């Protein structure tokens, strides 16, 4: 219910249950690569509990935590991973195969709109966070 209330509150409870049935829970060890920059991504991953490093060209550019999503850009636009994402601590995630998720959302237009809203919120969060970090860096 925590995920429903915090991330997926745009879905009806029935839609949320459909979404969860499609997902696979995974417990990942520390230093597990979720995505690799430049490689294809077959899943959308939500961090349920843990901490993930986002790296571009081998340098950490951000950290993601509970409730953040990995692979939404690839899901929306296609293409390979734009960054490597690696767990920093043991991390519990929900994983949706992109093809399965797309098929579910295509069959359920309201769910598609709700997921678009979830992805938009995630993208805005990442952009605002990046802008804030850039501004902090200028003042150092």
**How high is the pLDDT of residue 124?**
84
- 41-45, 125-129, 130-134: the lowest-pLDDT one: 130-134
Torsion of CA 8, 97, 51, 62, to 10 degrees: -90
**How high is the pLDDT of residue 138?**
74
Q: Is the pTM of this model over 0.85?
A: yes
In the predicted model, what is the mean pLDDT of residues 79-93? 96
Q: How far is CA 91 from the centre of its chain?
A: 13
User: What b-and-e string marks burial along 12-23, b requiring 16 or more CB atoms within 10 Å of the CB?
Assistant: eeebbeebeebb
Which CATH fold topology does 2-138 show?
Answer: Jelly Rolls (2.60.120)
Concatenated DSSP letters for 81-108? -SSEEEESS-EEEEEEEHHHHHHHHHH-
């Amino acid at each position: 219910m925590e995920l429903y209330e915090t991330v997926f509150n745009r879905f009806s409870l029935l839609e949320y249950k459909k979404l969860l049935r499609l997902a696979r829970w995974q417990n990942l060890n520390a230093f597990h690569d979720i995505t690799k920059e430049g490689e294809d991504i077959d899943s959308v991953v939500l961090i349920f509990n843990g901490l993930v490093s986002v790296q571009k060209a081998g340098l950490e550019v951000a950290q993601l935590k509970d409730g953040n999503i990995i692979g939404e850009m690839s899901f929306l636009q296609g293409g390979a991973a734009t960054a490597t994402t690696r767990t920093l601590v043991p991390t519990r995630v929900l994983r949706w195969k992109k093809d399965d998720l797309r098929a579910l959302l295509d069959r359920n237009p309201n769910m598609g709109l709700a997921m678009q809203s979830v992805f938009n919120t995630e993208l805005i969060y990442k952009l605002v966070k990046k802008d804030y970090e850039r501004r902090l860096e200028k003042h150092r």
